[in-house]
Amino acid sequence: MRSSTFLRRLAVLALLALPALPATAATRIEVQAGRSYMDGYGSNAAFLEGVFGEHRIGSTRLTWSPDVSVGWINGRDVSRYRNSRYTTSDSVWLAAAGARFHYGDADAWYRPLFFSFQPAYHSGRTQALSSGYEFVSTLGWQGKHWSFQLRHISNGSMHEPNRGETMALVGLAFNI
């Protein structure tokens, strides 16, 4: 029930954003998949991420790009949490929006490295993601058609439990 409400809200937000697409057309779409871990227990994860046009911050070598993503983390059965207020068996859908940061000149060897930060809203409550709001932090490498990322999702200890999800993702990128 909660997943369908979340998906309906996400669809309404997408429809409301349609008129703005020509002005902010995504330059990069990434389809990402990998494994997510909570307390050493693994689960599958998948994300669809849009990275928009790059903007220089003042006269520095630091740039930022608007970054939005929709993701899914599969549930897992961990017996010690079966009778807890928050279990681990539910799969979670989440939507996040923030910024992706790069540093350096276009030809610098370290330019493909990035850090992104996104506040997120998600569909359920689990031992790992126990509040309605979470923060997504990603450290990664972005090639022309590939990306590799280490991502952590947590509520920053604003609500317990706060086990978080830590994942390794590989992405396939399309420039549009």
Contact 43, 74 (CB under 8 A): yes
pLDDT at 6: 57
**Residues 83-122, buried b or exposed e (16+ Cβ, 10 A)?**
eeebbbebbbbbbbebbbbbeeeeeeeeebebebebebeb
pLDDT at 170: 98
pLDDT at 8: 61
**Tokens of residue 175, six digits:** 């420039």
Fold of domain 2-174: Porin (2.40.160)
Q: If DSSP codes are grouped into helix, strand and coil, which group holds residue 99?
A: strand
List the domain boundaries for the chain: 2-174
Tell me the β-bridge partners of 51: 28, 67
Taking only the tens place, the pLDDT of each residue in 101-129 is 999 998 999 999 999 999 999 888 888 88
Q: What parts of the chain have a pLDDT lower than 50?
A: 1, 16, 18, 20-23
CA distances from 12 to 5, 39, 63, 158, 168 (A): 11, 35, 31, 29, 30
